[in-house]
Structure 1
Amino acid sequence: MTSWLAVAREDPAGLPDEGYVALLGADGDELEELADLADSVRRRTVGDDLTVVVNRNLDPALVVKPEHLDALVEEAWTLGATEVCLQGPLPPEAGPDAAVDLVARVAGRHPLHVHAFRPAEVEAAAARRGTSVEDFLTAARAAGLGSVPGTAARILDDGVRAALTGGTDIPAARWVELIRTAHRVGLRSTATIVYGHVETAAQQVAHLRALAGIQDLTGGFTELIAMPLVDVPPGVAARGASGRETRALHAVARLLLHGRIDHLQAAWPKLDRDTVLAVLRGGADDLGGLLLDGVLDPGAGPEAGRVLTVDDVRAIAEELGRPVRQRTTLYGEVDPERVMLR
């Protein structure tokens, strides 16, 4: 372990797979050393700013309730959002161009960044429209789509995916192709890993290697979001992610992806506060989105009821001793008139 840490100090992204697998098992003093190293790489790469985006989840089914959709977009804008996130299936009764129409309606009301459609939803929207995935994404981008969520990646191993979902997931190779297509038409995306279930440390490393390979080809990933499996599917003997594993995985991800994916998000809806602080001290630099609920439809979105307040962010930053920077979805600067956190 000590020898791999020494190699990583000289070349964070240069270890062989066996080195990263060994580091994923770090505990005790070695875990603290690994976290300190990852945090120093974070500091050199992106500085000390703790970043956050002000966003809101909306249900794509609202495409058939346009007046309510308009009201929710208006509320999100009034509350200070710069991003609207749309994830979930379109209703069966929606028309063939529903996905493009949805984007156009949201983006046409206010200059909000529209972050929408997971890979499987991209494939479904293209099929509904009767066009290729590339044609659909090109049309959606022209309508105002700014980026796509790189979620449902889970672990990019078909055996693991089948164990988690009973074979209902799209194949790993198809997930990769859909994300690469989105990047090819000029859209950015997040990258994700879901851990703490049936996968091995070697499979975690292989997943991170796959993301690195995509980034080498496209440069389209904005950040990595590492999430423990929280809602365990029936019949899956998930081991559960310990705090130790969570810290080690975030640190290893920072090292392995160094020079490729600059930002590493602490997935606060999936982690307790102490663990959020730990990973932000061990390689992570971003808190993701506030996930504003509003009052008109606070149940919208898979993380309904999980809101990070401005005071929460400030308290976390103060405890870390780091400044806060409100960012855009693509990590740019927010219009000063729209900044909620200073």
Structure 2
Amino acid sequence: MVLNTRRVSNHTIVSTFLLWGFSSFPYLQVLLFVLVFFSHVSIVVANMSIMVAIKLSHSLHTPMYFFLCGLSFSETCITMVTIPRMLVDLLSVSKTISLPECAIQMFFFCALASNNCFVMAAMSYDRYTAIHNPLHYAIRMTPKICAQLLIASCMVGILVSVCIVNIVFNMSFCDSNIIQHFFCDISPVMSLACDFTPYHQMAIFMLSVFVLVGSFILIVISYVFIGFIIMKMSSIKGRYKAFSTCSSHLTVVSIHYGFAGFVYLKPKSSNSFREDMLMAVTYTVLTPLLNPIVYSLRNKEMQIALRKVLGNANRFISQTVDKRN
């Protein structure tokens, strides 16, 4: 393989990277391709089904499902940023990616991942508002306010991503061009920079803390208040109903922040990149697949809406086949 490089002083300046990914497991790459491919198809179908069900079911036109629709769309987009490239590399001999392509992939991944965190924070605020004052819920969570919260989450994600990409790709990459990952994640790319300093690492760490810890604190605050409200309820049935409205969101939050926090907030070393890569599979493949499953299994309204969507889809397919015959 010929590398796209140029010579500066005593260093070879790299302009093309090699996504090493799962190259250490050559005999498993076909099996991995099959597993990841079907997982990707399942993610797209599951999240699209959630979005279509919410769009077509009038009973789901509420703030909670509006945010869920936004989260499903964001999860679908984030898998499109990483998984198709992984699938190509699993069957390809050449696993190269240019520096601009790497920067674009990192930008969209960081923007969408940050957006997910703040959408989950908005969802927790929505649950607090619904439980704290259900009579004024429709007034406090109007479609306009919900749209503003979703747009704010997106804008924060974009700004954070711009900062991260600016820091990482303003550094010079020299000598080694092998990224120990299946996509252009922050730490594996930064480790290749020849002018990488602790100040760069601290800046990225603080941005990660702002996104993960900042949004998580907002979620915790909402649930602390929700907990106080539930404890004051005299009816056991009322407590159960209030908790059940939050259980799906709590499950998704636990999965998301557990994996993401492990990768982005723990100390980095060159020996941890393979471990981080395996963990990255969970939050780029497993988490987007689990989110719609959790919400559909634990929510009767969503189950009814999905059955209607699937029933309409089956009838449409049957009618199409009958017309052709």
Shared fold (TM-score, shorter chain, > 0.5): no
**Greater share of strand residues, 1 or 2?**
1
TM-score by length of 1: 0.27
TM-score by length of 2: 0.28
**Greater share of helix residues, 1 or 2?**
2
